[in-house]
Amino acid sequence: MKRILIALTLAAAAFPASAQSPIKEAGAGIIAGDPIGGTAKLWFDRNYALDLGVGFSGSTVLWGDFLYHAWNLLPQPEEGRLGVYFGAGPRLETASDTEFGVRTIAGVSWRLTRQPIEVFAEAGPVFRLTQGGGVDADGGVGVRLYLGPTPR
């Protein structure tokens, strides 16, 4: 347990200073995949966000990824914005023995203009730091509904 607390503290300290700014927008939704569950996204500005989630993958899984979004890498649709994102953060799984790891993720996000909706797909490796190490994978598709005005 002591190693988990140290790893969480180090992961939180690694986030850039922009993560300390006020939240500009918040959304909540679901993700289907591995794990399957609920997700929330807190935007700090147009490019940086924090993705938090709780789900199930044989046992309860908690994660928090700091994400960078690049909106100019893909051709833009007529409706909304299409971008790619990359990020990493801590992942905790409450199996018979608690497992802690670092989740790295890459995805595609489509933000609609006229509706407060985001559709996304993501995948990436999870590097386990407990239980003898190893690498797993997370991934899925999901949708989030945003509260309040959408920043342009």
What pLDDT, in 10s, does the model give residues 111-128? Answer: 998 999 999 999 999 999
Q: Hey, what CATH topology would domain 2-14+25-147 get?
A: Porin (2.40.160)
φ and ψ at residue 24, rounded to 5 degrees? -90, -25
Among all chains, which residue has been given the structure tokens 């709780």? Answer: 54
- Which tens digits make up the pLDDT trace of 52-88? 999 998 899 999 999 999 999 999 999 999 999 999 9
DSSP label of 112:
-
CA atoms within a 13 Å half-sphere pointing along the CA-CB vector of 82: 8
pTM of the model: 0.81
Cβ neighbours around 38 below 10 Å, total: 15
The domain limits of the chain are 2-14+25-147
For the chain, the straight-line distance linking the first and the last C-alpha, in angstroms and rounded, comes to 43
Which token pair is 140? 């899925």
Distance CA 52, CA 30 (A): 11
Distance CA 71, CA 53 (A): 23
